[in-house]
Structure 1
Amino acid sequence: MAEPATRAALDAWGIDAHALERLGGGAVNEHWLVETAAGPLVLRRYHPAHAAEATPYEHDVLRYLDGNGWPVAAPIATPTGVTTVETDAGRWSLFPFLQGTPPADSPRSLQRLGALLALLHADLATWPGGAEQRATFGRVTDLDRYLETRGRTSFDELVERLGRDEPARAAELRGIRERNAFSLHHLGYDALPNTVVHYECLGRNVLFQDDEVTGILDFDFVHRDARVADIARSLAVECGTDPGRVQRWLGGYAAHADPPLAQGEIDVLASLMIASELWNAVIPLALADGPSGAEWMRASAYASIDERLPALELAQPALRRAASVRVVPPGHRA
């Protein structure tokens, strides 16, 4: 039986659900599997911190990719033609359900994930709407814009608040960000051109059936940044500080990159892995302090500050060496 909130949302699409099941796995937004006579759908309720003005950009990207043959869940319009519905219980969208499961971790799957992102970047670069930045978004280093446009705070205020109870963690977080900002500026990140990036093209968001990609999920953070920032996000999550895994993933990307990775992109990649992990610490920390925050968000932020960020800093020389060796499969050119 559908709850009143989900039933009211589905009414906007004229959907009569045979069954409704809450889905796990979403880090912030909530999702329900909706069984209908026409097949399964997914109902999403956006997190309150998700800016309403940022949603059309994501939906436009999904429609564009769907029209170009990508296995993405393009939003379903209501009979009145809108893809987002406001009710007393929140903001909702409806999507097709994509079949498949994430790939098992293996050297081959790392290469395939790298190749997939390279191909995705090439098509995203041709999206007609890609010249403008997504509302409320900036580059990975522009933490203040992301926080302030969601009714949160600035990075400095967030660290100051953290320091009241966790002075050592606050000092560590501030120090890592200052060192990273210096490194990125010195290596020329500011001069790299922007393009449309997915920013969550991770193994858990890619679905396979047999050997075929059947779904690419979670375009919640699609926006404009240097493409190497997107690469760094995937490497930080999928490879961590393991140089061998970094080389395998990059080998897949380099084999299909168009244009090929430039030396300036390779030089800044390891430092952008730290920037990605800083983002991965700051956003959950800010959300945890909000009215709808969860303790797991704070725990995740603390794990970044205590473990992942220091490990990435220590591994910078090895990661830079790994990034400079582009492993290209036989028969391909980087």
Structure 2
Amino acid sequence: MTGPDLSDDVPLLVEQYRIPGLRQIGLMPTTGRNLNAIMVDAQGGRYVLRCYLRNVDLSRIQFQLDFQEHLLGKGIPTADIIATKAGERLVNTGQRTWVLFRHVAGTGYDYANSEQLRNAALCLADLHEAAEDFAEPAVDDDTIPSLRRWWTHGAEDLAELHTMFADRDVAAELAFLDAWLASLTRDFPIEVVDQLPPAWVHADFHGTNLAFVDDQVTGVFDFDVVHRGYRLEDVAHATYCFAREDATSNRIRPELAAAFQEHFDLTDLERAALPAFTVATQARNAARYRIREREGADPAAVLRGHVARMRHLCGLAP
């Protein structure tokens, strides 16, 4: 998916920057969640011009940029944000909000490369440490996937899913989610879960949101859903993403999962809750499915996919 035509916006945006010869040369592949135009200047320097479609609230985007710049200042590899002539990080064209980043060279994750897995784990651990003193208040809404929400708003979110998907042939999936949430909150009451170490959570730390040159991480991207939560959210989700057989598989390779997790000094409680959190990071509320519908996906099909993954991770499916 390449997204809508950008020809009306890009010439206007180019004028906002003191970059001689800046022009668009293509689009990066996208799922429709955001648009990323590949730009080049007169000297051949590359940039990425991002249009924010998923998070359109300006205060949320500013928060994400502040978080990214904080990490960059702490030595975490991510993209420089390029200011406009007026010193602004955001450009709003009326209907769209754009930010220009310096391009970071690299390729996506190679599932056959255990050294890349190790360095991805080290990068995530460093990210958590670097973010510890990020002092800004979070700017969140109900589309930000905080796992704690399943304890505080789980019944409400499930009721909304039942309403949203009534007559959509997903009764079995909704019944699974009902039973899953009852089991999760019974086995790990909120009083226990709140003893887990807190952290700023990237929440989308996977192989296509990182860039590698050889085995080294050269960039961490996509802070759309960063939030304050439990460190285990990131560890559980990233273990699933990096220790799978490949990008299409739900089978986690135990030896690679152990290799990834050894860089986090997990507490006993984190180790006990890790399997449950690995499943829980795949659950979505109605607000997230409405976003997918807005992006052109069939939300019922997306829900079936999420529940199938959850069932596999629970050992209930092949």
What's the TM-score, normalizing by structure 2? 0.82
SS of equivalent to 2:101: strand
Matched, 1:233 2:237: yes
Q: How big is the shift at 1:186?
A: 6.9
CA contact (8 A) 1:288 1:298 kept: no
CA contact (8 A) 1:42 1:94 kept: yes
Report how many aligned residue pairs link the two structures: 301
Give the one of 94, 98, 106 matched to 1:88. 94
Give the one of 176, 183, 188 matched to 1:184. 188
Give the one of 99, 113, 118 matched to 1:111. 118
Matched to 1:172, the amino acid is F
Q: How big is the shift at 1:103?
A: 2.8
What is aligned with 1:173? 177
Give the one of 285, 303, 306 matched to 2:305. 303
SS of equivalent to 2:89: coil
Distance 1:138 1:204, change over 3 A: closer
Q: How big is the shift at 1:228?
A: 0.7
What is aligned with 1:162? 165
1:36-82: CA deviation from partner (whole Å, max 9, x where unpaired):
12511111111155432211221112112222222201322222222
Give the one of 263, 268, 286 matched to 2:268. 263
Give the one of 54, 60, 63 matched to 1:54. 60
Q: How big is the shift at 1:282?
A: 5.2
Matched to 2:68, the amino acid is L
Distance 1:185 1:144, change over 3 A: closer
SS of equivalent to 1:295: coil
CA contact (8 A) 1:53 1:135 kept: no
Q: How big is the shift at 1:202?
A: 1.1
Give the one of 62, 78, 85 matched to 1:72. 78
Q: How big is the shift at 1:261?
A: 1.4
Give the one of 245, 249, 259 matched to 2:257. 249
More helix by share: 1
Partner Cα separation in structure 2 for residue 117 and residue 214 of structure 1: 13
Distance 1:126 1:142, change over 3 A: same
CA contact (8 A) 2:211 2:219 kept: yes
CA contact (8 A) 2:199 2:228 kept: yes
1:272-298: CA deviation from partner (whole Å, max 9, x where unpaired):
11110003x756522234xx3312665
SS of equivalent to 1:310: helix
Q: Quick one: percent identity of the two aligned structures?
A: 22
Distance 1:159 1:190, change over 3 A: farther
Q: How big is the shift at 1:155?
A: 4.4
SS of equivalent to 2:140: coil
CA contact (8 A) 2:56 2:97 kept: no
Alignment of 1:198-209 (within 5 A): 198-209=202-213
1:71-127: CA deviation from partner (whole Å, max 9, x where unpaired):
201322222222112112311111111101013112333333222211221212233
SS of equivalent to 1:278: coil
1:130-189: CA deviation from partner (whole Å, max 9, x where unpaired):
xx333334722426999xxxxxx9542233221222233332333323333333327821
1:250-291: CA deviation from partner (whole Å, max 9, x where unpaired):
434423x3xx21111111111111110003x756522234xx
Partner Cα separation in structure 1 for residue 73 and residue 206 of structure 2: 22
What is aligned with 1:37? 42
Structure 2: gaps (5+ residues) = 245-249
Structure 1: gaps (5+ residues) = 147-152, 317-334
CA contact (8 A) 1:144 1:155 kept: no
CA contact (8 A) 1:99 1:214 kept: yes
Distance 1:296 1:42, change over 3 A: farther
CA contact (8 A) 2:51 2:98 kept: yes
Computed over aligned residues only, the root mean square deviation of the Cα atoms, in angstroms, reads 3.1
Distance 1:100 1:176, change over 3 A: same
Partner Cα separation in structure 2 for residue 178 and residue 100 of structure 1: 43
Q: How big is the shift at 1:2?
A: 6.4
Matched, 1:13 2:17: yes
SS of equivalent to 2:225: coil
